[in-house]
Amino acid sequence: MRSDPEVLATDLRACLGPLLRRLRQAKVDDELTPSQTAVLVRLYREGPSTSSALAVAEGVRPQSMGAIVAALVARGLVVRAPDPADGRRVVLSLSDTGRDGVRGARRERSRRLTAALRDELTADERALLAAAVPLLDRVSRRV
């Protein structure tokens, strides 16, 4: 039965996983690695951070994060600045170029999803999906 939580969980993973992968194809820059993109998005969402805090948040070794950050700095997407509270530390933040890139990728993902909803679903189906969004949001906070 489709309302059985185990079956429903399987069905949701089967349809949401490919949806998210397809949306991620609208990258900030085609040459960025998934790790570099994740750091840009984290800085966009959470604001400035240190390399060590990013390493912990992303679950990678500090040395690996150092390489990721160095590549982003070299491309002008991230800037380094001394920590105002502790001059020995370096704070990383998005440059204007990095911020514009993340916003552009978000706009493209939104455009693609909007087009798919418009082209693939009837008005009644869109209303049904809209009614499910608060439920999915509630479940996503619990996972």
Residues 44-85 have pLDDT tens digits of 999 999 999 999 999 999 999 999 999 999 999 999 999 888
Residue 29: the pLDDT is 54
Q: State the number of CA atoms in the 13 A half-sphere of 29 facing the CB.
A: 18
Residues 115-132, mean pLDDT to the nearest whole number: 95
Backbone angles phi, psi at 31, to 5 degrees: -90, -5
Calculate helix-pair angle for 96-120, 34-46, nearest 10 degrees: 100
The mean pLDDT value of the chain amounts to 90
**Count of Cβ atoms closer than 10 Å to residue 57 Cβ:** 14
pTM of the model: 0.70
The CATH number that applies at residue 83 is 1.10.10.10
Q: What is the percent of the chain with per-residue pLDDT over 90, rounded to a whole number? A: 62
Q: What is the pLDDT of residue 23?
A: 80
Q: How many structural domains are present in the chain?
A: 1
Q: Amino acid letter at 17?
A: G
Segments forming the whole domain that contains residue 136: 5-140
Confidence category of residue 140, pLDDT binned at 50, 70, 90: confident
Separation in Å, CA 21 to CA 62, 65, 110, 116, 131: 27, 23, 14, 15, 23
